């Protein structure tokens, strides 16, 4: 260092400082990308049970056959390690791989099209620089020819996909816009909670259409409406209820079930309180559907006021009342309330049937580390018995949903391995 002039020494110091600042900035971008990957719940689809993180291979059922998620680790041969930023953006927003092949819309690229450029960049840095590369070939779909040809997806995209990142609504608050951005984009909530059309597309992609987040059914589960419906939606929830539910998987009265357990466990519990509050504020702004119904008065003695010969009531007493109680009120913060529970009162009874058949569990989170499990009853209850219990809980304690038939139970059971013992 003796031979360096003061000017050259100063230049070297400035250059080193600039490089350090750049490295620090990129470290922050990568950390933000990891946060965004949590918000998008990328691991849910791109990590198979027992598999390596983001290496793909998860089987997903579609009406035309099974498909398998892809390897999105930075391996240059079998993953996305050879992708540049634009190719990565095209895969997320347009569903187009580096080789030009179109992705099936099980990848929620119609939602991810709303992610802004800065977040795309940070996701790219995270996946290419922080995720561990895994050598694992992608698995071909089980969809038979000619249905497995992908060129028709270009027409599907032209009809159902909208271009352009989310644009803030100047008439709404910054909190509302942040919530809308997360729900419509990275959170891709509509993938489950919006009904599908004839092309298996989401019927709506934002709140300007009443179909948006009005409830959807996939693989034997019904994702409840996230709109303001008093019976089957979030009309009885306040923003604090929603924030707590997304953080812990519980509110005072209700608990997550089905795939929402994994969403809370792997995604929403890791979001900041500010982002969860923004999501809650946006969802609470969504009005009820056109055919708004009012819950009937609570009838806590329904189990005893009903005909003692009611097989549904008797089966409920034998199998359910110990945890959910005879008045359907459950135990706060522990066993969910069944009276006026939106999950039970949707027009489509798929979820209540699946919960009885397969059981359920609550998420294990940092704020609620003790997970609880409801056992499955499909092994010992017939289709008729399941239908009777489901009908009883949907029509008691002030609940007023339609009865459930044995044929509805049979249809869901036949798509699973759960059979009653005889």
Determine whether 254 is exposed, middle or buried from the number of CB atoms within 10 Å of its CB (0-12, 13-18, 19+): buried
The pair of structure tokens assigned to 356 is 């009885």
Residues in the chain: 422
Residue 340 annotated in ligand binding = no
Residue 74 CA to residue 83 CA, distance in Å, equals: 9
SS (H, E, C) 327-345: CCCCECCCECCCCCCHHHH
Q: Is 42 annotated as a binding residue?
A: yes
Identify the residue whose tokens are 């609470």: 284
DSSP 255-282: B--TTHHHHHHHTGGGS-HHHHHHHHHH
Q: Where are the beta strands (DSSP E) in 192-297?
A: 216-218, 221-223
Q: Is 324 annotated as a binding residue?
A: yes
Q: Please check if 45 is assigned to a binding site.
A: yes
Rg of the chain in Å (alpha carbons): 24
Answer yes or no: is 193 a known binding residue. yes
Alpha carbon 419 to chain centroid, angstroms: 27
* 341 and 349 Cβ atoms separated by less than 8 Å: no
Judge whether 32 is annotated as a binding position.
no
Question: Any idea what DSSP says for residue 52?
Answer: -
- Tell me if 212 sits within 8 A of 194, measured CB to CB: yes
Residues comprising the binding site?
42, 45-46, 189, 192-193, 320, 323-324
Residues comprising the binding site for heme c?
42, 45-46, 189, 192-193, 320, 323-324
């Amino acid at each position: 260092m003796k031979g360096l002039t003061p000017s050259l020494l100063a230049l070297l110091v400035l250059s080193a400082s600039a490089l350090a600042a750049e490295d620090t900035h990129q470290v922050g971008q990568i950390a933000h990308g990891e946060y965004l990957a949590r918000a998008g719940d990328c691991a849910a689809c791109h990590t198979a049970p027992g598999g390596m993180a983001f290496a793909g291979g998860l089987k997903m059922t579609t009406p035309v056959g099974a498909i398998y998620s892809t390897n999105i680790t930075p391996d240059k041969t079998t993953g996305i390690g050879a992708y540049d930023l634009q190719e990565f953006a095209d895969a997320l927003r347009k569903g187009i791989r580096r080789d030009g092949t179109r992705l099936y819309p099980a990848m929620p690229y119609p939602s991810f099209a709303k992610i802004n450029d800065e977040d795309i960049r940070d996701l790219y840095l995270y996946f290419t620089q922080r995720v561990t590369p895994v050598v694992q070939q992608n698995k071909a779909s089980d969809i038979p020819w000619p249905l497995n040809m992908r060129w028709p997806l270009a027409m599907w995209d032209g009809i159902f996909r909208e271009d352009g990142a989310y644009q803030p609504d100047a008439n709404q608050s910054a909190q509302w816009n942040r919530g809308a951005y997360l729900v419509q984009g990275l959170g891709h909530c509509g993938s489950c909670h919006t009904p599908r059309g004839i092309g298996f597309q989401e019927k709506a992609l934002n709140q300007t259409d009443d179909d948006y987040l009005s409830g959807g059914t996939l693989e034997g589960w019904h994702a409840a409406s996230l709109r303001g419906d008093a019976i089957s939606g979030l009309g009885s929830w306040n923003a604090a209820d929603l924030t707590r539910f997304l953080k812990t998987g519980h509110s005072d009265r209700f608990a997550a079930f089905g795939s929402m357990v994994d969403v809370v466990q792997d995604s929403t519990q890791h979001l900041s309180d500010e982002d969860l509050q923004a999501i809650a504020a946006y969802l609470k702004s969504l009005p009820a559907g056109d055919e708004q119904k009012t819950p009937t008065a609570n009838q806590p003695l329904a189990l005893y006021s009903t005909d003692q010969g009611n097989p549904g009531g008797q089966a409920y007493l034998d199998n359910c009342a110990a945890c959910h109680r005879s008045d359907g009120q459950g135990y706060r913060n522990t066993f969910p309330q069944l009276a006026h529970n939106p999950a039970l009162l949707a027009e489509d009874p798929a979820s209540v049937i699946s919960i009885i058949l397969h059981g359920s569990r609550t998420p294990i989170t940092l704020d609620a580390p003790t997970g609880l499990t409801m056992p499955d009853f499909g092994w010992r209850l017939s289709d008729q018995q399941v239908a009777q219990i489901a009908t009883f809980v949907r029509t008691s304690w002030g609940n007023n949903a339609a009865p459930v038939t044995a044929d509805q139970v049979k249809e869901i059971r036949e798509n699973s391995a759960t059979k009653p013992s005889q």
